[in-house]
Amino acid sequence: MRKIDKEVEPATLALWKRQNRTLRYKDLPPQESRAIRSSCITEQYGLCAYCCQSITLDDAHNEHVEAQDRAPNRTLDYSNIVASCNRKHQCGHGRGTHQLPLTPLMVECETELKFYLSGLVTGHTERARVSIETLSLGHTEESNRGLVGRRKAMVDTLIYGQELRPEDLQHEDEELLGLLLEVFQTPEAGKPLQPFSPVLANVIRHFLTPA
Protein backbone atom coordinates (compact mmCIF):
# COMPACT_ATOMS: atom_id res chain seq x y z
CA MET A 1 0.00 0.00 0.00
CA ARG A 2 0.97 3.58 -0.59
CA LYS A 3 -0.42 6.35 1.62
CA ILE A 4 -3.24 8.13 -0.20
CA ASP A 5 -3.67 11.85 0.37
CA LYS A 6 -7.33 12.63 -0.19
CA GLU A 7 -8.10 15.91 -1.89
CA VAL A 8 -11.40 17.80 -2.15
CA GLU A 9 -14.33 15.89 -3.58
CA PRO A 10 -15.14 16.30 -7.30
CA ALA A 11 -17.36 19.36 -7.97
CA THR A 12 -20.02 17.18 -9.62
CA LEU A 13 -20.32 15.09 -6.44
CA ALA A 14 -20.55 18.16 -4.21
CA LEU A 15 -23.34 19.54 -6.40
CA TRP A 16 -25.28 16.26 -6.46
CA LYS A 17 -25.02 16.00 -2.66
CA ARG A 18 -26.39 19.52 -2.26
CA GLN A 19 -29.34 18.70 -4.50
CA ASN A 20 -30.07 15.23 -3.03
CA ARG A 21 -29.49 15.59 0.68
CA THR A 22 -31.37 12.52 1.82
CA LEU A 23 -29.77 10.07 -0.59
CA ARG A 24 -26.90 7.64 -0.20
CA TYR A 25 -24.15 6.18 -2.34
CA LYS A 26 -26.42 3.50 -3.80
CA ASP A 27 -28.57 6.28 -5.32
CA LEU A 28 -25.61 7.95 -7.03
CA PRO A 29 -25.95 8.20 -10.86
CA PRO A 30 -23.19 6.62 -13.01
CA GLN A 31 -21.69 9.96 -14.01
CA GLU A 32 -20.98 11.03 -10.43
CA SER A 33 -19.74 7.56 -9.55
CA ARG A 34 -17.29 7.75 -12.45
CA ALA A 35 -16.17 11.21 -11.37
CA ILE A 36 -15.31 9.83 -7.93
CA ARG A 37 -13.37 6.95 -9.47
CA SER A 38 -11.50 9.21 -11.84
CA SER A 39 -10.44 11.53 -9.00
CA CYS A 40 -9.35 8.61 -6.83
CA ILE A 41 -7.29 7.06 -9.63
CA THR A 42 -5.50 10.38 -10.15
CA GLU A 43 -4.80 10.71 -6.41
CA GLN A 44 -3.46 7.14 -6.40
CA TYR A 45 -1.20 7.69 -9.42
CA GLY A 46 -3.05 5.02 -11.37
CA LEU A 47 -2.58 2.22 -8.82
CA CYS A 48 -5.04 0.08 -6.85
CA ALA A 49 -5.30 1.41 -3.27
CA TYR A 50 -4.41 -2.01 -1.88
CA CYS A 51 -2.31 -4.16 -4.23
CA CYS A 52 -0.62 -1.34 -6.24
CA GLN A 53 -1.37 -2.84 -9.66
CA SER A 54 -2.43 -0.51 -12.47
CA ILE A 55 -6.11 0.36 -12.68
CA THR A 56 -8.29 2.32 -15.09
CA LEU A 57 -11.81 3.76 -14.88
CA ASP A 58 -13.18 0.57 -16.44
CA ASP A 59 -11.39 -2.08 -14.40
CA ALA A 60 -11.71 -0.55 -10.94
CA HIS A 61 -14.47 0.28 -8.48
CA ASN A 62 -15.16 2.86 -5.81
CA GLU A 63 -14.23 1.28 -2.55
CA HIS A 64 -15.46 2.42 0.84
CA VAL A 65 -12.59 2.08 3.30
CA GLU A 66 -15.08 2.03 6.14
CA ALA A 67 -17.62 -0.35 4.64
CA GLN A 68 -21.02 1.12 3.79
CA ASP A 69 -22.99 -1.09 6.16
CA ARG A 70 -20.67 -0.25 9.05
CA ALA A 71 -20.61 3.50 8.37
CA PRO A 72 -23.95 4.29 6.69
CA ASN A 73 -23.48 8.03 7.28
CA ARG A 74 -20.18 8.05 5.39
CA THR A 75 -21.24 6.42 2.11
CA LEU A 76 -20.91 9.74 0.22
CA ASP A 77 -17.93 10.98 2.19
CA TYR A 78 -15.24 11.31 -0.45
CA SER A 79 -12.50 11.04 2.18
CA ASN A 80 -13.74 7.49 2.85
CA ILE A 81 -13.58 6.36 -0.80
CA VAL A 82 -10.59 5.00 -2.73
CA ALA A 83 -10.25 3.13 -6.02
CA SER A 84 -9.66 -0.63 -5.89
CA CYS A 85 -8.93 -3.13 -8.65
CA ASN A 86 -11.70 -5.61 -9.53
CA ARG A 87 -9.62 -8.76 -9.06
CA LYS A 88 -11.56 -11.63 -7.53
CA HIS A 89 -10.81 -12.77 -3.98
CA GLN A 90 -8.49 -9.86 -3.17
CA CYS A 91 -8.50 -6.11 -2.49
CA GLY A 92 -12.01 -4.57 -2.44
CA HIS A 93 -13.75 -7.73 -3.67
CA GLY A 94 -11.72 -9.89 -1.28
CA ARG A 95 -12.45 -7.98 1.91
CA GLY A 96 -16.16 -7.54 1.23
CA THR A 97 -17.42 -5.63 4.25
CA HIS A 98 -14.77 -6.84 6.69
CA GLN A 99 -13.08 -4.14 8.72
CA LEU A 100 -9.54 -3.05 7.88
CA PRO A 101 -7.52 -2.07 10.94
CA LEU A 102 -4.72 -0.67 8.75
CA THR A 103 -5.72 1.25 5.61
CA PRO A 104 -4.04 3.19 2.79
CA LEU A 105 -5.38 6.37 4.40
CA MET A 106 -2.94 5.81 7.30
CA VAL A 107 0.69 6.77 6.87
CA GLU A 108 1.72 3.59 8.74
CA CYS A 109 0.54 1.50 5.79
CA GLU A 110 3.95 2.22 4.24
CA THR A 111 5.96 1.04 7.24
CA GLU A 112 3.93 -1.70 8.93
CA LEU A 113 3.88 -3.90 5.83
CA LYS A 114 7.12 -5.55 4.82
CA PHE A 115 7.60 -6.70 1.23
CA TYR A 116 10.26 -9.14 0.07
CA LEU A 117 12.03 -9.67 -3.24
CA SER A 118 10.32 -13.08 -3.24
CA GLY A 119 7.02 -11.28 -3.82
CA LEU A 120 5.67 -12.13 -0.36
CA VAL A 121 4.48 -9.62 2.22
CA THR A 122 4.32 -9.78 6.01
CA GLY A 123 3.10 -7.40 8.70
CA HIS A 124 5.21 -5.83 11.43
CA THR A 125 2.09 -5.35 13.55
CA GLU A 126 -1.05 -7.32 14.27
CA ARG A 127 -3.23 -4.78 12.46
CA ALA A 128 -1.01 -5.02 9.38
CA ARG A 129 -1.29 -8.82 9.41
CA VAL A 130 -5.07 -8.62 9.69
CA SER A 131 -5.33 -6.19 6.77
CA ILE A 132 -2.93 -8.24 4.61
CA GLU A 133 -5.00 -11.39 5.14
CA THR A 134 -8.36 -9.64 4.80
CA LEU A 135 -7.26 -8.14 1.46
CA SER A 136 -5.46 -11.35 0.45
CA LEU A 137 -2.26 -9.51 -0.43
CA GLY A 138 -0.06 -12.62 -0.44
CA HIS A 139 1.40 -13.45 2.98
CA THR A 140 1.98 -16.97 1.66
CA GLU A 141 2.37 -18.30 -1.89
CA GLU A 142 -0.80 -20.37 -1.49
CA SER A 143 -2.90 -17.42 -0.32
CA ASN A 144 -2.55 -15.56 -3.63
CA ARG A 145 -0.11 -17.23 -6.01
CA GLY A 146 -1.06 -14.95 -8.93
CA LEU A 147 -0.39 -11.71 -7.09
CA VAL A 148 2.83 -12.93 -5.44
CA GLY A 149 4.14 -14.07 -8.83
CA ARG A 150 3.22 -10.84 -10.64
CA ARG A 151 4.68 -8.76 -7.83
CA LYS A 152 7.99 -10.61 -7.92
CA ALA A 153 8.21 -10.39 -11.71
CA MET A 154 7.41 -6.67 -11.83
CA VAL A 155 9.74 -5.77 -8.96
CA ASP A 156 12.52 -7.69 -10.75
CA THR A 157 11.76 -5.77 -13.95
CA LEU A 158 11.87 -2.43 -12.13
CA ILE A 159 15.28 -3.34 -10.66
CA TYR A 160 16.65 -4.52 -14.03
CA GLY A 161 15.42 -1.21 -15.45
CA GLN A 162 17.98 0.44 -13.16
CA GLU A 163 20.67 -1.87 -14.59
CA LEU A 164 20.90 -3.80 -11.35
CA ARG A 165 20.14 -7.37 -10.38
CA PRO A 166 17.68 -8.09 -7.55
CA GLU A 167 20.31 -10.12 -5.66
CA ASP A 168 22.68 -7.13 -5.71
CA LEU A 169 20.26 -4.79 -4.01
CA GLN A 170 21.10 -5.77 -0.46
CA HIS A 171 24.83 -5.14 -1.04
CA GLU A 172 24.41 -1.63 -2.43
CA ASP A 173 25.52 1.37 -0.40
CA GLU A 174 23.14 3.74 1.32
CA GLU A 175 23.61 6.51 -1.19
CA LEU A 176 22.52 4.40 -4.14
CA LEU A 177 19.62 2.89 -2.20
CA GLY A 178 18.53 6.41 -1.22
CA LEU A 179 18.55 7.46 -4.87
CA LEU A 180 16.59 4.36 -5.90
CA LEU A 181 14.09 5.02 -3.15
CA GLU A 182 13.48 8.49 -4.58
CA VAL A 183 12.94 7.04 -8.05
CA PHE A 184 10.32 4.52 -6.93
CA GLN A 185 8.43 6.50 -4.34
CA THR A 186 8.20 9.85 -6.12
CA PRO A 187 5.77 10.11 -9.02
CA GLU A 188 6.56 12.43 -11.90
CA ALA A 189 4.08 15.29 -12.01
CA GLY A 190 0.86 14.23 -13.66
CA LYS A 191 2.11 10.73 -14.52
CA PRO A 192 0.98 7.38 -13.13
CA LEU A 193 3.41 5.33 -11.07
CA GLN A 194 4.71 2.05 -12.44
CA PRO A 195 2.76 -0.93 -11.07
CA PHE A 196 4.22 -2.16 -7.78
CA SER A 197 6.74 0.70 -7.52
CA PRO A 198 5.54 1.40 -3.93
CA VAL A 199 6.36 -2.26 -3.20
CA LEU A 200 9.93 -1.84 -4.42
CA ALA A 201 10.20 1.43 -2.45
CA ASN A 202 9.16 -0.57 0.63
CA VAL A 203 11.80 -3.27 -0.06
CA ILE A 204 14.52 -0.62 -0.44
CA ARG A 205 13.40 1.19 2.72
CA HIS A 206 13.82 -2.04 4.65
CA PHE A 207 17.37 -2.47 3.30
CA LEU A 208 18.15 1.09 4.42
CA THR A 209 16.69 0.65 7.91
CA PRO A 210 16.53 -3.07 8.69
CA ALA A 211 13.83 -3.84 11.24
Instruction: List contacts with Zn ion (CB under 5 A).
Output: 48, 50-51, 85, 91
Nearest approach, Cβ of residue 211 and Zn ion (Å): 25
Query: Smaller CB distance to Zn ion: residue 91 or 100?
Result: 91
- State in angstroms the smallest separation of the CB of 87 from Zn ion: 6
- Cβ nearer to Zn ion, comparing 51 with 169: 51
Task: Report the distance separating Cα 40 and Cα 158, nearest Å.
Answer: 25
Q: Please give the single-letter amino acid code of residue 23.
A: L
In the complex, what is the shortest distance from the CB of residue 122 to Zn ion, in angstroms, rounded to a whole number? Answer: 18
Torsion of CA 23, 29, 100, 85, to 10 degrees: 180
The least CB distance from residue 151 to Zn ion, in Å, is 11
Separation CA 17–CA 32 (nearest Å): 10
Backbone angles phi, psi at 123, to 5 degrees: -110, 140
Dihedral sign for Cα 21, 23, 26, 28, please. negative
Choice between 119 and 180, CB closer to Zn ion: 119
Nearer to Zn ion, 50 or 184 (CB): 50
